[in-house]
Chains A and B, each alone.
Chain A
């Protein structure tokens, strides 16, 4: 029995579209490593001058998973009032370095109009940094990171922003986050973002493809928390909502539900395909 593969594509699009169009979502599954990451971010203790450094190393090709992860991580850091320095080693993330923190800040500003989250205080965008391992080594070795970074993407000296003016050394970076689906990029942080007497508290958001590789680093404690694809982001969103009931992640839950529906459809297709194949085989034998 043969039929066009286009019907399978159509079926998958339909299965994915149903929860999205009808707004049907389910509770996300519990993810232990996402819980660990939540607790790490929640317990980061900072004093004046300390910051978090988040690398957004993804583009449109993995925005489905990495975008959601970046949003929940930044939301948590913003809520905790930890100043975030955003950098990237991936050129295609240039636009996302602007839009994602802005989206999160806008959401929080609407939620709590009496408070304010704004550029220069809550976050700054250091932009794309070429040089990979070489650049990271120089950054880590610098005794005045504010001067080393030079200017942000708006052309303003980093010293201009009080929250980021006194990054005297890498020790001031209390948390490093890496959101990417590129294992090569992630590896450079693991390899070079450390020096004698300093290993960062390191959290990572990965795509589903790179989950098996990321687990190795989680097991060896080189990683302190991990967001596994959409499911990890959805559970992190759930945890945020438990701590901050006004925080809503409806979109994320819809995406997670649609993904779950698609997975069920694929499993059913595999089972059906095998049953049909087995039936044809036994029929051929009987004939």
Chain B
């Protein structure tokens, strides 16, 4: 095992124990590692944007660094001056930082306005692309006939689906709300169905958290202990 890998395993184990120490009580050991994690998580983003995106995909083509000059004086590709158009959105983006100046803070509103407009349009498009197929698929046949026969299980499934869909939609229907109407009397039926759904969500959340515990226990009991034994030469 390489030294760097060994070091990362040992540090990872110490970090895990530090975070789990919160289960006993709040302590400095936990706090230090919590802040370290937040720092690393916040710091890695800008570096990756710069290294994996801004530099290779924007700056390099703009400055012509992607073009190779051959010994015979020819080039691997022709320089595209249109890449300089990237400068305009970059300037627009930089306007966000003007909010730190009282005098020029109004400039940031241009950037915010453009971002909001673009995000809004994108969200509308995304919403329809995501939701329309779901609405279409909720139109299910209640009696399913296929391959020359009645499909009882599928029919019951579809019936349940449609009934639950209507009852839950009805629960959130506040427009008419006339006391004593069929709508208002059946509205409460959606509530227990929602509770079942929340229960399923809660159960699956517990399962996900347990999966994390399992992975960490595996890491500590195998990788970390092995690394400690490796470092201490078996004297631990």
Query: Is A50's beta carbon under 8 Å from chain B?
Result: no
In the complex, B116 has a CB within 8 A of chain A = no
Task: Give B200 Cβ to nearest chain A Cβ, in Å.
Answer: 6
In the complex, the answer to whether B217 meets A209 with C-beta atoms within 8 Å is: no
CA distance A64 to B197 in the complex (A): 25
Contact indicator B214/A94 (Cβ below 8 Å): no
Of B44, B136, B211, which one neighbours A65 at CB under 8 angstroms? B211
Instruction: Specify which of A17, A192, A211, A220 is in contact with B217 (CB 8 Å cutoff).
Output: A17
A207 within 8 A of B: yes
List chain A residues, Cβ under 8 A from B48. Answer: 91, 94, 127-128, 130
Contacts of A220 in B (CB 8 A): 133-134, 136-137
Considering the complex, give the chain B residue whose CB is closest to the CB of A209: B208
Residues A262 and B214 in contact in the complex (CB < 8 Å), given A91-B48, A229-B207:
yes
Q: Is A209 touching B204 in the complex (CB atoms < 8 A)?
A: yes
Q: How far is the CA of A94 from the CA of B44 in the complex (A)?
A: 9
Q: Which residues of B contact A254 (CB under 8 A)?
A: 218
Q: Does chain B have a CB within 8 A of A258?
A: yes
How many residues of B are in contact with the other chain, CB < 8 A?
45
Map CB proximity to B onto A196-215 as digits: 1 under 8 Å, 0 otherwise: 00000000000111111000
* B151 close to chain A: CB less than 8 A: no
Segment 1-33 of A: residues with Cβ below 8 Å from B:
6, 9, 12-13, 16-17, 20-21
B residues less than 8 Å from A217 (CB atoms): 134
Contacts of A137 in B (CB 8 A): 122
Tell me, yes or no, whether A287 is within 8 Å of chain B by CB.
no
Complex CA distance for A210 and B205, rounded to whole angstroms: 8
Do B125 and A191 touch (CB < 8 A)? yes
Instruction: Indicate if the CB atoms of A63 and B215 lie closer than 8 Å.
Output: yes
Chain B residues with CB under 8 Å of chain A are: 23-24, 41, 44-45, 48-49, 51-53, 56-57, 60-61, 66, 118, 122, 125-127, 129-130, 133-134, 136-137, 197, 200-201, 204-208, 210-218, 221-222
Residues of A within 8 A of B (CB): 6, 9, 12-13, 16-17, 20-21, 59, 61-65, 67, 91-92, 94, 127-131, 133-134, 137, 150-151, 153, 155, 157, 181, 187-188, 190-192, 194, 207-212, 216-217, 219-222, 229-230, 251, 254-255, 258-259, 262-263, 266
**22 intermolecular pairs with C-beta atoms under 8 Å apart:** A9-B23, A63-B215, A64-B211, A65-B211, A127-B48, A129-B52, A133-B126, A134-B122, A150-B61, A155-B56, A187-B126, A191-B125, A209-B204, A209-B208, A212-B201, A212-B204, A216-B134, A219-B134, A221-B133, A229-B204, A229-B208, A259-B211
